[in-house]
Structure 1
């Protein structure tokens, strides 16, 4: 029986938010990464960017206060902080491609030990037909961080030696934040940043099936 407790999605979002530096411009990808907006420390100035044309995005609105004219790229309602702005998505992509974002936080289906990212298709019937803006974010941001469960529902590691799904970008991921551990990626492979209480380094290596530098 496992002696460790997985991080909840909220705890994982809080863990990522704690690492975002003051003054950073950050894009939060569709899905789990949007939860990070709810955990930015109040004393820290972080400017959140949304692919559909928002700068200065805030946390999710309270129930009953949603405005569906104010949504993120995943069509979920958001809030706008004082000084926030809207603009055409072409300008948004110019920001993404022009190296103006310090960090993007993306979900993933697979990440290789060297930081290759596969996050748009598993090849299943009915899957989305194209990569969308993820590739622009992955190569345009100064740092790409991934937020995901470590294991699939079948118990396989999403961190792999080589991605088998279509790639979004090569060697772009610098950190992987999961429900069990935080890891760094480089040309030399994986390195350990932290892991949940009760999970050993050796057990984490067994789950991933790859060596992890301390």
Structure 2
């Protein structure tokens, strides 16, 4: 099965972010999206540690140790960027001022429930960060994750078995195989069959009654 690599996944997400959007990129895989935003498209990137107008990753050797994102990765700032207190950043998130957030996930249910902060394992370290604030505060929540676990189980599930971050919040799920849109009624639409597997094969992978 031909799958997208992580950079290709990021490019696919970037393609769907509309002009004029204010977007938060979550820690981990979603940070790659900044490198693939179409040139000339007016998009403001927000980082929860207090940046608005964040740019892509710097070229090797051009890193500024004082300019990082919420995941402590070096970033750049575009002309007109602003910096502010962490509390003000969270006020933006909680106040409904973000059009889109892009988050990683352990699981997403067919109803759009999100589980991305804890696996529930006794030795796992919880890492909620601002995920709950983003999931409930952003107008649209895009999840970016590989479809299958290392054991071959689907992360797009009937019901999340991990602790929930938020219920019925996910608008789209971007994976290395396909793009899905969970619905509040439990139906899941296939927006883009990236691997060209076809609906029956995607149903076999997810064990869900997917719709075209």
The question of a shared fold, defined as TM-score above 0.5 by the shorter chain, is answered with yes
1:111-167 per-position Cα deviation (integer Å, ceiling 9, x unaligned): 000100000001234433352210000000000010000000000000111101000
Once the two structures are TM-superposed, the CA of residue 200 in structure 1 deviates from its matched residue by 1.3
- The yes-or-no answer on 1:118 pairing with 2:121 is no
192, 196, 199: which is aligned to 1:198?
Answer: 196
Number of residue pairs the alignment of both structures matches: 211
1: CA distance between counterparts of 2:78 and 2:203? Answer: 42
Q: TM-score if structure 1 supplies the norm length?
A: 0.96
- The yes-or-no answer on 1:165 pairing with 2:177 is no
Q: Which runs of 5+ in 1 are unaligned?
A: none
Q: Which runs of 5+ in 2 are unaligned?
A: none
Question: Which residue does 1:77 correspond to in 2?
Answer: 74
Q: TM-score if structure 2 supplies the norm length?
A: 0.97
Question: Which residue does 1:213 correspond to in 2?
Answer: 211
Question: Which residue does 1:53 correspond to in 2?
Answer: 50
2: CA distance between counterparts of 1:148 and 1:72? Answer: 20
RMSD: 1.0
1: CA distance between counterparts of 2:85 and 2:35? Answer: 25
How has the CA–CA distance of structure 1 residues 68 and 196 changed in structure 2, closer, same or farther, with 3 Å as cutoff? same
Question: Which residue does 2:17 correspond to in 1?
Answer: 20
1:41 aligned counterpart, secondary structure: coil
Question: Which residue does 1:38 correspond to in 2?
Answer: 35
2:181 aligned counterpart, secondary structure: strand
